[in-house]
């Protein structure tokens, strides 16, 4: 003999089977025919199963299931607004202009050395230790007797000055 919970589950299965085609149609309309209509129906039925004790009468099951489906759809929309999905870019960044390649090719190692030598002492030393010696920020901070954040700031300043020094004249104007 079946207990009350098992009988309710059998009734629930029969109710879902009877209304499933209509739920799928409604989900396809809500999602505008996208592939996530089946996922919407599945989530709605999962919610309906959790709250099946709230179904007072099998005659009202159609409206109850459609309301759960609609509410599930609305909840999904709200979640997407709060946390938008990531979009992968399929377009590659443009290749550098031929002029940029020529400009960088014209810069010699001596030009770079001179530019690094012109940096203020504290900035230059932090930049050299990081770039040429491969030291970590913490090791540079200990060597210079400063905070780790200060090392990051010095390296950032060195990069900005070098970038400005080698920037094309027309980009500055």
Per-residue pLDDT of 89-98, as tens digits, reads 556 656 655 5
Interior angle at CA 156, CA 151 and CA 157, nearest 5: 100
In a domain, 87, yes or no: no
Same domain, 130 and 156: yes
Query: pLDDT higher for 58 or 105?
Result: 58
Percent of all residues in the chain with a pLDDT value above 90, rounded to a whole number:
18
Residue 126 to residue 113: CA distance in whole angstroms: 15
CA trace torsion 19, 23, 24, 26 (10° rounding) = 140
Residue with tokens 């094309």, as numbered in its chain: 168
In a domain, 88, yes or no: no
Contact criterion met (CB below 8 Å) for 109 and 124 = no
**Beta carbons within 8 Å of 41's beta carbon, 6+ residues apart:** 20, 23, 24, 27, 69
pLDDT tens figures, 100-143: 556 667 778 888 888 889 999 999 999 999 888 888 999 999 99
Residue 64 to residue 99: CA distance in whole angstroms: 67
Contact criterion met (CB below 8 Å) for 93 and 72 = no
Same domain, 29 and 56: yes
Per-residue model confidence (pLDDT) at position 147? 92
Same domain, 54 and 121: no
Q: Predicted confidence band at 84 (pLDDT cuts at 50, 70, 90)?
A: low
Domain that holds residue 53: 4-82
The whole-number average pLDDT for the span 43-57 is: 85
In a domain, 114, yes or no: yes
Same domain, 77 and 112: no
Per-residue model confidence (pLDDT) at position 93? 59
Same domain, 71 and 111: no
Same domain, 66 and 135: no
Per-residue model confidence (pLDDT) at position 153? 92
In a domain, 12, yes or no: yes
| CB burial of residue 159 (10 Å; 0-12, 13-18, 19+) | middle
In a domain, 115, yes or no: yes
Q: Predicted confidence band at 155 (pLDDT cuts at 50, 70, 90)?
A: very high
Per-residue model confidence (pLDDT) at position 132? 84
**Phi/psi at 56 (5° precision):** -80, -35
- The encoded tokens of residue 89 equal 């870019």
Same domain, 75 and 104: no
The per-residue pLDDT of the chain, averaged, comes to 80
Same domain, 18 and 72: yes
In a domain, 73, yes or no: yes
Contact criterion met (CB below 8 Å) for 64 and 55 = yes
Please tell me the total count of domains within the chain.
2
Cα separation values, 89 from 19, 81, 92, Å: 41, 20, 8
The whole-number average pLDDT for the span 70-74 is: 90
Percent of all residues in the chain with a pLDDT value above 70, rounded to a whole number:
76
Which of 132, 126, 156 lies closest to 144 in space, CA to CA?
126
> 3 pLDDT exceeds 50?
no
């Amino acid at each position: 003999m079946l207990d009350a919970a098992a009988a309710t589950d059998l009734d629930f299965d029969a109710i879902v089977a009877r209304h499933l085609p209509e739920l799928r149609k409604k989900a396809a309309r809500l999602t505008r025919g996208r592939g996530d209509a089946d996922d919407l129906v599945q989530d709605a039925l999962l919610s309906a199963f959790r709250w099946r004790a709230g179904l007072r009468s099998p005659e009202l099951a159609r409206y109850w299931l459609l309301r759960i489906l609609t509410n599930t759809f609305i909840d999904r929309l709200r979640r997407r607004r709060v946390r938008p999905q990531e979009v992968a870019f399929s377009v590659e960044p443009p290749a550098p202009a031929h002029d940029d390649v020529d400009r960088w090719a014209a810069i010699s190692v001596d030009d770079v050395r001179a530019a690094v030598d012109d940096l203020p002492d504290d900035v230059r030393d932090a930049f050299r230790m990081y770039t040429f010696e491969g030291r970590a920020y913490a090791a540079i901070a200990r060597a210079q007797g400063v905070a780790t954040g200060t090392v990051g700031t010095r390296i950032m300043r060195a990069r900005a000055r070098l970038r400005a020094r080698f920037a094309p004249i027309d980009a500055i104007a």
